[in-house]
Amino acid sequence: MPLPARQPLSAAAFAIFLSLFPAIAPACAADMAPPQGEVVLSVTGAIGCTNDGAAARLDRALLESLPQRTFRTTTIWTDGVQEFTGVALADLLRSLDASGKTVIARAINDYQIDIPVDEVSEEAPIIAYRMNGAPMSIRDKGPLWIVYPFDDNPRFQSEVAYARSVWQLAQIEVTD
């Protein structure tokens, strides 16, 4: 009896095969467009999606094209309840196909702090790009501010969460 002709691998089987080897899976679902406007956030390190050498450089439009989250909370730095809008750090990491265990968040003033990826949830923190609907100036802790829904969870009312609440965020490095 003749051997059956070799079948090409089905797309589904190929996807399963790739999922077993994340390192050789397609780097990025879609080509990442280069920034058209001023770059507000650079992401480097263990990411699969880049648009400038080994970095992903995002302008406001690219950031705002990611899933958007809004919540209201007080902060220890502001008066009264504020409405923050931005992208969840988890969504940013996923959209850039990040694979490291630690996020190093750096501010314009070179302040930096480690955020363990396993302490990043779907909701918190977010990288806020708007406060009360308006872009934040550098003077107002913008243009990007890592914020937690502080009022929602006592865990976020802690020195650890405050130290991770980087304002004037400019750069993120994903490392192991």
Ligand X SMILES: Nc1nc2c(c(=O)[nH]1)N[C@H]1C(S)=C(S)[C@@H](COP(=O)(O)O)O[C@H]1N2
Q: Are strands 169-175 and 112-116 parallel, antiparallel or unpaired?
A: unpaired
| Residue of 111, 116, 132, 175 that binds ligand X (CB under 6 A) | 111
Handedness of CA 156, 159, 161, 162 (dihedral sign): positive
Which region holds residue 38: left if phi is over 0, alpha if psi is between -120 and 50, else beta?
A: beta
**Residue whose C-alpha is closest to residue 25's, from 37, 36, 38, 16:** 16
Binding of ligand X by 166 (CB under 6 A): yes
Asked if residue 75 binds ligand X (CB under 6 A), the reply is no
Q: Annotate each residue in 12-41 with x if it binds ligand X (CB under 6 A) or - if it does not, as one string.
A: ------------------------------
Question: How many Å apart are CA 142 and CA 44, to the nearest integer?
Answer: 20
What's the min distance (Å) between Cβ of 142 and Mo ion? Answer: 20
Q: Which is nearer to ligand X, 130 or 164 (CB)?
A: 164
What's the closest the beta carbon of residue 161 comes to Mo ion, in angstroms? 10
* Residues engaged in binding ligand X (CB under 6 A): 77, 107, 109, 111, 159, 162-163, 165-168
* Residues engaged in binding Mo ion (CB under 5 A): 163
